[in-house]
Structure 1
Amino acid sequence: MTKVEFVSAAAAKRAAIHRMVMPGHVCPWGLKAKHLLESNGYQVEDRHLTSRDEIDAFKAKHKVATTPQIFINGVRVGGYDDLKRFLGKAVRDPNGTTYVPVIALFAISALGALALSTSVFGTPFTIRAGEWFIGLSMIVLALLKLQDVEKFSAMFLNYDLLSQRWVPYASLYPLLEGVTGILMLSDRLIWLAAPVTLFIGLEGAISVFKAVYVDRRELKCACVGGSSNVPLGFISLTENLMMIVMAVWMGRMLVG
């Protein structure tokens, strides 16, 4: 590489970022943008906007609504998402559907169940690990729903048949799911947990099957809370089928 080529290459990797750094607030997107630039080999000129007047003046000058703003080789790229696009990184669509929350939930629940089995029995692969996985999954799913019961119940009412006939069931559902999950983990009151789990699992499976496979409706699933972008379908049905299987298994233990 010649000296001229080296200087050109270095210049191509220079960026300036204007970000909010105030006594009571440091913009997190500015920090993320700075880190992203540095991770991609850019020499970053970090320019702080330290007062509301300074921020407003910057926005007015560049005719932008938000900060941070990133400039590369003197040309404005835009904000954090614009920078990601410029660097060829994926940008999440806030309104797009995704299975990531459910995958993460089941993965963590599975690892937790395997860890418990290893601690108690010395091996991760036991029947008890399978029981713990379902119990932990139900508890985490209930926790996500209980973060905002109003949002969850509004989304749940879109497709749940029982809730549409008796609205309070939409708010009661996450409590039932959480309590039965706890009872599964504790091996207590199985005579109560088994029929309740079977009921909510069957009712939920019928509701999802009708909405998705009979009525062909495209809806978002309330399974991970009211702000979910998880599409209603196979994953939602799987949640209910897991509860049905666990209820039958608990019933078998009672009979035995």
Structure 2
Amino acid sequence: MSKPSRTAVLYRMVMPDHTCPWGLKARHLLKSRGYTVDDRWLTTREETDAFKAEHGVKTTPQVFIDGQRIGGHDDLRRFLGLKVRDPKATTYTPVLVVFLTTAVMAAMLSLVVFGTPLTVQAAEWFIALSMMVLGMLKLQNVESFSSMFLNYDLLAKRWVPYGKVYPFAEFAAGALMVAGVLTWLSAPVALVIGGIGAASVFKAVYLDKRELKCACVGGDSNVPLGFLSLTENLMMIAMAVWMLVMEYAVGSTAMPM
């Protein structure tokens, strides 16, 4: 049997005002797999349109190996036995990245302030910073977030503006908690929005058995509504209760005998 060719022909758009990123990715992928790449540029729109018409394709780049058209970047990945991301597939990755990032931030803050990354304050900062980052992601597109939020949130279904209030409340409560100020305001806000959120997620997922996407990292995410969504709300509730208890304990010890 003859060995498969290790030379690939790649047609990709390289214009003065645009270089196709998928073409660059395809070239890198071919070279990383040991192929010699005959890199052919499509330098004008007319040249690109003519190429598409000639080969009956709608997109570029296009890869050819042994005279056989493999296709674009995703087709090349399939040809090489690599995984191709499904843009519609649900994933918990965005939420996990947020929690990992805020955990590291909290640990580093604790290390600077207290000399050790593992403190009670670090746990408080982790939850408060998570609230801020999740609120920030929602605030990038409040309209999109509120539309997805309306699919399951019990209060938003009854009072639509709550969908636009929620990310501001979450961000502000988290910011106040990071600073440790105005606990009389931040804790009740977190308790209310966390409580409503937890009840909404529990009803939608565990009682109604609905398969929905969570708006926790914004309205354009593919995060499934489920355990991590419930965790976000339970964290807010726990933080609110903890801060109220600590505020009461400090106030009690400060009272004159």
Question: Shorter-chain TM-score: which interval?
Answer: over 0.9
Deviation at 1:252, TM superposition (A): 1.1
Rounded to whole Å, the distance in 1 between the matches of 2:63 and 2:216 is 38
Rounded to whole Å, the distance in 1 between the matches of 2:51 and 2:79 is 22
Pick the aligned partner of 1:129 from 119, 122, 125: 122
Rounded to whole Å, the distance in 2 between the matches of 1:132 and 1:17 is 50
Listed as ranges, the matches of 1:82-101 within 5 Å are 82-101=75-94
Alignment root-mean-square deviation, CA: 1.1
Residue in 1 aligned with 2:37?
Answer: 44
Q: Does 1:76 align with 2:69?
A: yes
Pick the aligned partner of 2:175 from 175, 182, 194: 182
Runs of 4+ in 1 over 6 A off after TM superposition: none
AA aligned opposite 2:111: T
Residue in 2 aligned with 1:215?
Answer: 208
Q: Does 1:58 align with 2:51?
A: yes
Listed as ranges, the matches of 1:107-256 within 5 Å are 107-256=100-249
The TM-score, its normalising length taken from structure 2, stands at 0.94
Deviation at 1:139, TM superposition (A): 1.0
Pick the aligned partner of 1:15 from 8, 26, 30: 8
1:107-140: CA deviations, max 9, x gaps?
1111111111112212111111111111111111
Rounded to whole Å, the distance in 1 between the matches of 2:102 and 2:65 is 43
Deviation at 1:146, TM superposition (A): 0.9
SS in 2 for 1:188: coil
Q: Between the two proteins, what is the percent identity of the paired residues?
A: 64
The alignment covers a number of residue pairs equal to 249
AA aligned opposite 2:136: L
SS in 2 for 1:21: strand
Deviation at 1:12, TM superposition (A): 2.2
The TM-score, its normalising length taken from structure 1, stands at 0.95
Pick the aligned partner of 1:103 from 96, 101, 122: 96
Deviation at 1:165, TM superposition (A): 0.6
Rounded to whole Å, the distance in 2 between the matches of 1:139 and 1:35 is 38
Rounded to whole Å, the distance in 2 between the matches of 1:254 and 1:79 is 60
Q: Where do 5+ consecutive residues of structure 2 fail to align?
A: 250-257
AA aligned opposite 1:123: T
